[in-house]
Structure 1
Amino acid sequence: MLTAIPSDAANPVWIDLLMPDEADISRIEQNYGIKVPDRAALREIESTSRLRADGDTLYMSVPLLARTGTPQWEIAPTGFILSPKVLVTVRYAQLDLFEAMTKELAEAQDLTPPLALVRLLEEAVDRAADHLEHAAELVGDVAQTVFFDDLGEGGLARETRILRKTIRTIGRANDRASRVRYMFLSMGRMVSFVGDRCTPKLDQDIQDRLSAVGHDIASLDEFEVSLSGRIQLIQDAATGLISIEQNDVVKLLTVASVVGIPPVLIVGIYGMNFKNMPELGWSWGYPYALGLCVLSAVVPYLWFKWRDWI
């Protein structure tokens, strides 16, 4: 699908290609001499593939975040082709960013291809910052659960379920933050590339806005690094708490098994029924054996308790 901005102009400033077909690609190549990259080309990760110049035309690609209808977000490789006459964007996924900017730029005055590109980058950075803010909120909620809430109420099973849910939540936050940082890395290179290649040709206002986008990316990248450190700390803490709980369970089972060994030994001895076993003729032989079983269980238990093992 091809969307031109302004739609009623003979020479549009911005053309957005969403899942372009052969007719759309052929039209762009014939009218503007631009080679539209396919999906495979947009997925290339080498810098030379993502950022290159062909005369006055810049070919760039950057991974953006796209909704999937689930809490998980996916990376959508997106192409930006900046020429003196037109800005062409190529994408193979629905992106809220482009839907919003289509309405805004359609009403913009004195729109130029560099201005359209800068406005798209500004909005992309703003939306990426929202992703980081959401991830930071998740991390804050998880930190409250791990470090401040009393997880012991409700039993061991409930505590384990909460910690497992916590690890999944922190994993989702980490996944989103890492995807945003990956996007920032590519966007930062793209901003520098445009600035280096087009600085003499760009208006001062466009240059200043490009520089501001670069500074925003750098500051948000630092925030993401700090957030990743918090995520790692909380993840290690939650994992450590689960290990402690598992050790407590193993300790309890160990104590129970040790406490049960002496009574079993005694019962085994008195279950042999030897003819010359003196205790068989005692009037209090059976109560004596039972008492000895209880005593052999209580003594190890008290010893474990004294050592503060249980």
Structure 2
Amino acid sequence: MLKLIGKNGEETTLDQAIWADLCEPTDEEIAQVEKRFEVHLPTRAQLSEIEASSRLRSIKGRLIMSAPLIARHEDIGVLSPTGFLLLPDALVTVRFCQMTAFDQVLEAIEKGDHAVTGQEILVRLLEDIVDRSADRLERVAEELASASHAIFREPEKDSKKHRLGHETRRLRGLMVSVGLASEQMVKVRHAFLAIGRIASFVLDRCEPKIEQALHDRLVSVKHDIESLDEFENSLTGRVGLLIDAATGFISIEQNDVVKVLTVVSVAGVPPVLIAGVYGMNFHNMPELAWPWGYPFAIALMVLSTILPVWWFKYRDWM
């Protein structure tokens, strides 16, 4: 789909367009734009290249830039390669997914009361993308705060029954949530760092030089990205802490079970030994002739079970 926007935000013809936005373009639309602006539009494969020399190029005063931006696909945030071609008199964008930032900027231009240039449209796009990246990081921070509260909460006193299985499933679910949040952070980081490089590239290479107001806005975009980078680094450390904590708590729960099983096995050895001895039924075993021999053996087995348990309790091993 090809959208052609004029100086006042209205849809216009290809000859008068100052913004040509190609979303999942056809070969015919690509050919039309290439002919009108005398440029070669990069393919999706070219936009996906990660080398800085491939993402940021200047050819005869025309800036060709690309960045992986987050787009919604089947309710999942995915990185989609996006191209920006800043020409002396226009802006051409190439994308392969619907992105809210582009729709919002288009709506703002249509409602505006002054003419815009390709440079201003690019700055607006970068600003909106950075704002959305900040919003995504804030949501991730909230998710991590919720996960942190759930992981480090005090265990419920009435949750002794089936506690191990319940706690393990709960912590495993929290680890999955933290992992998904971490994956979202990686995507956001890829997006805003690429936008930061584009902002620096435009400031250094744009011809003709952009006006001072737009220059200051691009500098502000760079500063915002630097602060977002610091914030993302702090979230990364928090993710590592939460994953380690959840793993540690699962290990503690399992160790508690192992301790219980150890106590049970140790406490069960003496009565089994006593039962084995009295099960031999030797003729000269004096207890066989006692009227109270059977209760004596039972009492001896009970006592031999209680003593190891008491010893573990006394030593605070359980």
TM-score, length-scaled by structure 2: 0.92
Give CA deviations for 1:19-70 in whole Å, capped at 9, x if unaligned.
1111011111111111111111111111111111111111111111112333
Match of 2:174 among 150, 166, 171: 166
Give CA deviations for 1:279-309 in whole Å, capped at 9, x if unaligned.
3222222112111111111111001111111
| Matching of residue 142 in structure 1 with residue 150 in structure 2 | no
Please name the residue that 2:221 is paired with.
213
Please name the residue that 1:53 is paired with.
58
SS class of match (2:93): strand
**AA at the equivalent of 2:63:** L
Please name the residue that 1:87 is paired with.
91
**Structure 2 residues not aligned, in runs of 5+:** none
* Distance in 2 between residues matched to 1:41 and 1:274, nearest whole Å: 90
Q: CA deviation at 1:17?
A: 0.8
Please name the residue that 1:77 is paired with.
81
* Distance in 1 between residues matched to 2:174 and 2:153, nearest whole Å: 13
Q: CA deviation at 1:170?
A: 1.7
* Distance in 2 between residues matched to 1:261 and 1:192, nearest whole Å: 74
| Matching of residue 265 in structure 1 with residue 268 in structure 2 | no
Q: CA deviation at 1:87?
A: 0.9
* Distance in 2 between residues matched to 1:232 and 1:277, nearest whole Å: 65
In the alignment, is the contact (CA less than 8 A) between 2:88 and 2:207 conserved in 1? no
Please name the residue that 1:189 is paired with.
197
* Distance in 2 between residues matched to 1:308 and 1:149, nearest whole Å: 21
Alignment RMSD: 1.7
Give CA deviations for 1:182-228 in whole Å, capped at 9, x if unaligned.
21221111111111101762111111111111011111111111122
Q: CA deviation at 1:171?
A: 1.7
Please name the residue that 1:116 is paired with.
121
* Distance in 2 between residues matched to 1:100 and 1:236, nearest whole Å: 40
For these two proteins, the number of residue pairs brought into alignment is 309
Please name the residue that 1:67 is paired with.
72
Please name the residue that 1:198 is paired with.
206
TM-score, length-scaled by structure 1: 0.94
* Distance in 2 between residues matched to 1:200 and 1:20, nearest whole Å: 29
* Distance in 2 between residues matched to 1:275 and 1:50, nearest whole Å: 95
Q: CA deviation at 1:14?
A: 1.0
Q: CA deviation at 1:144?
A: 2.0
| Matching of residue 234 in structure 1 with residue 242 in structure 2 | yes
**AA at the equivalent of 2:257:** V
Q: CA deviation at 1:113?
A: 0.7
CA gap of 1:235–1:198, structure 2 versus 1, over 3 A, is same
Give CA deviations for 1:107-154 in whole Å, capped at 9, x if unaligned.
442211110000000000000010011011112212222334445542
